[in-house]
Chains A and B, each alone.
Chain A
Amino acid sequence: MLKKTAVHKSCIIEQHRIVVDGKLMWASEPHVPFSDFAKEAFHHLDIDYPKFHKMDALSKLAFLAAEYILQDEDKDALALVLANRSGSLDTDVKHQESIQDTENYYPRPATFVYTLANICTGEIAIRHGLQTENAFFVAEEFPEETIFAYADYLLQSNKAKRVLCGWVEYFQEDYRALLYIF
């Protein structure tokens, strides 16, 4: 099975900081809402991708982590294997609130489309043109053995040349992304 020593590159986003291979890439003022942090981090990338602003928080987090870690990387046959604890619960709650009141029943299509955890893998795939294997696991803690074993399987079976994998967790302002490239 793959070991952490086989990690080619890593990216961590937590506490308003984005770190790639131990190097601080971006940090915002502490205590700003995640939406502001994400917007600033996105503008720091200086890319033209209006769809970013329509994503839910989980997808913004995954998108940013992927964007920072994939800079100058070969994306040919790159597979995606992600996991988190809360699934899409943050957006599920928002959707539920929009249909709670039968007298004011206006479900938002743009919210509803993000009520699946693996939508964030789709956003990464669309952005980087990946037509490869992808998987999303929901687990209480980072399922390192499962993720690394699955990545190993994809590489050994030639289903992928490289694998972008890791943890992308967001629920009500509490967030952490930890991505690796094998």
Chain B
Amino acid sequence: MLSKITNRISTVIKNDIYITRLIALMLIWLVFMGFFRFEKFYTVINFQTMAAQFPEFGLMAFGIMLCMILGGIDLSVVGVANFAAIVGAITLKKIVGVDGEMLGIAIPIVFIVGIIIGAMAGAVNGFLISIINIPPILATLGTFELFTGIAIVLTKGKAISGIPFGFSEAITGRLFGLIPIQLLIFLAMALVITFLVTKTTYGKKLYLTGTNITAAKFSGVKTTKIIIKTYMISGISASLGGLIMLANYNSARAGYGTVYTLQCVLIVVLGGINPSGGKGKISGVILAIFVLQMLASGLNKIPEISSFYIPLIWGGVLVAVMVMNYFTENKKIKL
């Protein structure tokens, strides 16, 4: 039994150097925290807090991941998330009374509205990229400004606050007092994306298009459809992230989460998704999300490390991983 497990682990290590690297990074950090901040880090509340924090940007990272497998990128995720959160907030304020009546109906409606907005925003991205042929970086950077702009107009630049607390309470609550609801939303989306990517023809076509779009076209793949679909899923994922942000901060504003764009790109690259497309697994991205959250929360627990160093650490990790990936890729070529 034990040898079976070790066998399996060793094949995994051989098969996927990116994931091995992430696990090693995570273990090093866990040991480090164990030595220096054991009583602060290894607590249930700390793991619950972390599990409630990463879903909002983790969902955005999923979107970027799918687009990157396709050989593109979605830099508009934060814009989509804020747009969805703001429309969600307006909807909530319209439906729910001061005493919280209608809340049971309002929550599903807010999610439906948010998902529709995400899908529409994603469709705009997909249309610009596949039909108008704008490079993904430019297209999504443009739509990021567009969605943020619409959000600013909707809110007149202010934060929407005074939202009935019921929504926030429902989403930031814990199932059985233990598992944060945000985590469940994240896991549900992770399952859906895993299913789509590994079990459906859509997944096969996604990787094929990402590897070589010309070959995919000649093999009869409707690449336009695949591109639009992928950006729509990215938009939906981002909008769910936005609704979680709405719950976490009980307010919505066009400028929330501006740091997430870069952070999500960092996660996706760290997770072993090849920026030129066609390669990478969702499990790597999930691991990268865990690693980044543990790093962030851990650093927040060490007052001796000044906040001045945090961007330096992020940048260092990103560059180090890309350099390591470069050497792994080159080794493969030599062999």
A binds B: no
Residues of B within 8 A of A (CB): none
Residues of A within 8 A of B (CB): none
